[in-house]
Structure 1
Amino acid sequence: MTKTLRLIFPQWQGGNNPNYVFGSLLLGHIVPPGDKAETIQIMIDEDTSQELSIENGVIGGDGLLKQMSEATKVLVEKAPDKVITLGGDCSISQAPFDYLHRKYPDSLGILWLDAHSDMSTINDSQKGHMHVLGNLLGQGAPQFAEKVCHPFKVEQVMLAGLKYEELRPCDHQVNDLKMNYLTPDKLVDDSRLIIDWITQNQFKHLAIHFDLDVLSPQDYRSINPGKPYLEIEKFPAPVGAMTLEQITRIMKDVSEQTEIVGFSIGEHLPWDAINLRKALESVEIFRD
């Protein structure tokens, strides 16, 4: 019998954004429950009042390493066949994808649905969520990359929805490593190019990283650039251009070609719920 483990992983230090905690917990209620999956919440440092220090070249690095180690421990003890991870910032994918690569060493590919590369080094950025895919490739932040016991090869990864024309200097490894990538315009009408990549590499299993920031804030508002009253043109990073309908089509199409054994969702920022919660916290009756 196939064993599925659902990790609720409200890790926030990788993006240095405490709002990711609530976003992760809310995802636990939004995502369809499934009939047989076991759910475990990874314990994190919930003290968001203190400014994070830089450790190992990464903001909040020690806490991140501790939490990733805890996630790895849970995965090894539970030994699931499939892992669903509900974050949290994008660094939540490191432990489960590394675990799955050990379980499926010769047949696993990664589909990284993201407007950004997540392949920066500590010389480019000190935020852990910007290193995670680099870590999984044995690059990224050294103290984190060395924790990856089963690194992936470039050909095992497809960046889909990447805003390649807006790459920043911190994204240089996309070109340095000659990564496979597909821009949003290549995925508007069909998933053929992703299917071709799966077929050519004979991937029997697939791990999907779904950064909600791959979506356009005009289509889906619960993301960083979807913050109320934000002027999009002033957002300091490339803004996603895909629709939820397109992403759903891709998921369905790839599931007909290979078995999805890993699925991470990151960067969930439900602004209306976050703002309502903060507003109510200021009212005395809700503090009793």
Structure 2
Amino acid sequence: MSHAATSRSRGDHLRLVWPQWQGAGAAVVKELAPEFPHDVARRGYTVGTKVLEAVLPPHDGPTAAVPVTLSDDGLEERDGVEAKTVILKQLANALETIRDHDPARITTLGGECAVSVAPFTELARRYGDDLAVIWIDSHPDIGTPDSAYKGYHAMAAATRAMAALRTSARAAHEAMRCLVTMWKAANLSSEGMPSGLSCGVKSFSRCHHPMCGSVRYPLSCGRAKSSA
């Protein structure tokens, strides 16, 4: 049984309502919204979800809401990732909901950028190498815990690319090529590029990105000191 509240119809267009706020770094929120009390500002991403629900046309397919706590439970930093405990719990619930519906299409109403991880994870599981993702954002979201732009929301694209490395050598090469391209497009110096972000590395190493776990694959995701 799914942990999310759902109105259900299989194989259709799923609207996933996921007002996750915990992925935004506390320091980033404080800098961007100093005029609000910090606890209020951090939870401001939930307002964005409500706005999207209000302005979008009625949805004629199934809708599922991923439960998101507004409490401070699970906000402590683990492995360099703020709120890792609660983020992983909510991510698991979202993935379970998506797989329960088995939708043909997904529209996700968030929430900070990390809400994209669940639908992209399901697409990668379903299509494997035959998948392309167009990422349009003011930030590349290819960070690590050592990047200056804090929070799991800044690691969303990197997390998906790292997980893709588990599937095949081709996926590994494409993921690394895309990350290098995104890094350069963001006008970041090569000195700030995480180690391992280069195509053509042949030896196997372990991924120590905190949201991947320790997994053997051809390239290191490079949890290294970054000036990004």
The reply to whether residue 172 of structure 1 matches residue 196 of structure 2 is no
For residues 233-244 of structure 1, the aligned pairs below 5 Å read none
Q: CA deviation at 1:2?
A: 5.2
Report sequence identity in percent. Answer: 28
Q: CA deviation at 1:106?
A: 3.8
The reply to whether residue 12 of structure 1 matches residue 36 of structure 2 is no
Shift in CA distance, 122/165, structure 1 to aligned 2, threshold 3 Å: closer
1:118 pairs, out of 137, 141, 145, with 141
**Aligned AA for 1:172?**
M
1:66 pairs, out of 68, 89, 95, with 89
Distance 2:118 2:192 in 1: 22
1:43 pairs, out of 42, 53, 67, with 67
Partner of 1:25: 50
The answer as to whether partners of 1:115 and 1:161 remain within 8 angstroms in 2 is no
For residues 80-229 of structure 1, the aligned pairs below 5 Å read 80-124=103-147, 126-138=150-162, 153=172, 155=174, 164=185, 166-167=187-188, 172-173=193-194, 176-177=197-198
Shift in CA distance, 174/108, structure 1 to aligned 2, threshold 3 Å: farther
Q: CA deviation at 1:153?
A: 4.7
Shift in CA distance, 12/96, structure 1 to aligned 2, threshold 3 Å: same
Distance 1:82 1:75 in 2: 10
Matched residue of 2:108: which SS?
A: strand
- Mark the runs of 5 or more structure 2 residues left unpaired by the alignment: 1-9, 26-41, 200-227
Partner of 1:252: none
Distance 1:33 1:163 in 2: 40
TM-score (norm 1): 0.50
Shift in CA distance, 51/82, structure 1 to aligned 2, threshold 3 Å: closer
Distance 2:15 2:190 in 1: 35
Shift in CA distance, 118/165, structure 1 to aligned 2, threshold 3 Å: closer
168-177 or 123-132, larger mean C-alpha shift:
168-177
1:55 pairs, out of 72, 78, 84, with 78
The answer as to whether partners of 2:23 and 2:87 remain within 8 angstroms in 1 is yes
**Aligned AA for 1:133?**
A
Matched residue of 2:23: which SS?
A: coil
**Aligned AA for 1:61?**
K
Alignment deviations for residues 187-207 of structure 1 (CA, whole Å, 9 cap, x no partner): xxxxxxxxxxxxxxxxxxxxx
Distance 2:90 2:49 in 1: 15
Matched residue of 1:59: which SS?
A: coil
The answer as to whether partners of 1:52 and 1:60 remain within 8 angstroms in 2 is yes
- Structure with the bigger percentage of strand: 1
Give the CA RMSD over aligned residues.
3.6
Alignment deviations for residues 202-251 of structure 1 (CA, whole Å, 9 cap, x no partner): xxxxxxxxxxxxxxxxxxxxxxxxxxxxxxxxxxxx9xxxxxxxxxxxxx
Distance 1:134 1:64 in 2: 16
TM-score (norm 2): 0.62
**Aligned AA for 2:62?**
E
Runs (4+) of structure 1 exceeding 4 A deviation are 148-154, 156-163, 168-171
The answer as to whether partners of 1:102 and 1:150 remain within 8 angstroms in 2 is no
Shift in CA distance, 153/115, structure 1 to aligned 2, threshold 3 Å: farther
Distance 1:96 1:153 in 2: 20
